[in-house]
Structure 1
Amino acid sequence: MVKWIIAAEIAFWVVIIAGLFARYVLKSKKISILLFLLTPLIDLALIMLTVVDLRNGATATIAHGISVIYIGVSIAYGKSMIDWADHKFQSWFLKKPSSKKILVGLEKGIYELKMLARHVFSYLIGSAIFWLIINYVGSNGTDAIIGVWKTWSVVLIIDGIISLSYLVFPKRTESK
């Protein structure tokens, strides 16, 4: 299962880089959009492989749980990951100056809350998929998946505390 997660992650970034190459080097926005639209199909393939593997009798492992997290994160953060890659591609390969503003104070707090909302969204998607898989394949031998879900729950709580701290203790100036 680990090899499928690694393959999906590699495929995701290859498609993103190919989409950026098509957009900026080949000057074809249509091809780049088509390539970017492949990313959800990669996610769908990974979740299908996870379900098939478990349905065929494999005992759930941490890798199965990570594949579910991967799907939730990819859906919730997909656009922002593509935006990040787009910005980096322009900066590194097209040598365009960075226009990214460093956030401080209330702006940083609001940004962190938005990121927390994405994390909650990815968690809800992942949780739904976890429980659908467990109900579909049966709960026998799915302790590892439940363990991954519990760990993710703790990570979400920690992320919430950290994100809220940016509002309670705002950073006043940019550190150098």
Structure 2
Amino acid sequence: MVEFVHQHLWELFIAIEIVFWLCIVLFVFLRYVLGLRKMSIWILPFFVASVLADAYLGWIDYKSTGEFSIFQFIIVITVIYAITAGVSDFRRLDAYIQRKVVKWKGEAELEISVKSPPKYGCEHARHERYGWYMHVVMFVVAQIAFFYLFGTRDQFSVDEWFAFEFYRTWLEDEALGAYEDVKLNQVVRAWFIVLIIDGIISLSYTFFPRKEKNEE
């Protein structure tokens, strides 16, 4: 069984994602098209099961090879996203679909607790900061997971993570990361650069708020 799963990791991962999106379609159909809101709740456990199934695939891959792989990285990011930003994103998607379906059916729009993301001003800046904070949380949680799953190189000390010199050297040489696996260091380094760029863009709205086009 384990050997079969390991030989078909990508096929099973894609199948799980297809089931996940089919569950979303079924959830929307039951909840808003048929009006079976209570019944639609029974679809939610399948979302949790899909996350657990992804985690199981990642564990099988690591157990079989004993090495880090891109597949495991994708699994870790998928699981971390699902238990952090994924929840709020799903709520916003639910609210968006509810508005569209209600408008399509020509019914009175119900009160929706989840509002659309703000586009201008201080509210937009706050929303961008929150999105970046969640990105930071995902990055930190991923490092903790990598630390316990794959371990660090022999010469590495956790204190280095709090030293500026470590990051300067790391950005110059991607092989000098915290982990023994060079590929993992390369992936984490690329992610760290994206995190920094995301932070600069997100925080820029705090100092230069986006204004409406008709605003002088």
Indicate how the Cα distance of structure 1 residues 130 and 40 shifts in structure 2: closer, same or farther if over 3 A, else same: farther
Instruction: Name the stretch that deviates more: 147-156 or 164-173.
Output: 147-156
- Look up the match of 1:69: 77
Is the 2:58–2:72 Cα contact (8 Å) retained in structure 1? Answer: yes
Aligned pair partner of 2:63 in 55, 68, 90: 55
Aligned pair partner of 2:50 in 42, 47, 50: 42
User: How many residue pairs align between the two structures?
Assistant: 171
Indicate how the Cα distance of structure 1 residues 37 and 172 shifts in structure 2: closer, same or farther if over 3 A, else same: same
Q: Deviations over 1:84-122 (max 9, x none)?
A: 32234234444358x746421211110101111221222
Identity rate of aligned residues, in percent? 30
**1:174 Cα deviation (Å)?**
4.2
* RMSD across aligned positions (CA): 2.8
Is the 2:27–2:43 Cα contact (8 Å) retained in structure 1? Answer: yes
- Structure with greater Cα Rg: 2
- Look up the match of 1:132: 148
SS of the residue corresponding to residue 158 of structure 1 reads helix
Matches of 1:20 and 1:38 in 2, distance apart?
A: 14
Matches of 1:111 and 1:3 in 2, distance apart?
A: 36
TM-score computed with the length of structure 2 as normaliser = 0.67
1:16 aligns with 2:10: no
Equivalent residue letter for 2:203:
L
**1:164 Cα deviation (Å)?**
0.3
1:33 aligns with 2:49: no
- Look up the match of 1:166: 205
Indicate how the Cα distance of structure 1 residues 112 and 39 shifts in structure 2: closer, same or farther if over 3 A, else same: same
User: Which structure has more RCO (C-alpha within 8 Å, separation ≥ 6)?
Assistant: 1
**1:141 Cα deviation (Å)?**
8.2
Structure 1: 5+ residue runs without aligned partners?
none
Is the 2:51–2:82 Cα contact (8 Å) retained in structure 1? Answer: yes
SS of the residue corresponding to residue 156 of structure 1 reads helix
Structure 2: 5+ residue runs without aligned partners?
1-8, 110-114, 152-178
- Look up the match of 2:137: 121
Indicate how the Cα distance of structure 1 residues 129 and 86 shifts in structure 2: closer, same or farther if over 3 A, else same: same
Is the 2:118–2:127 Cα contact (8 Å) retained in structure 1? Answer: no
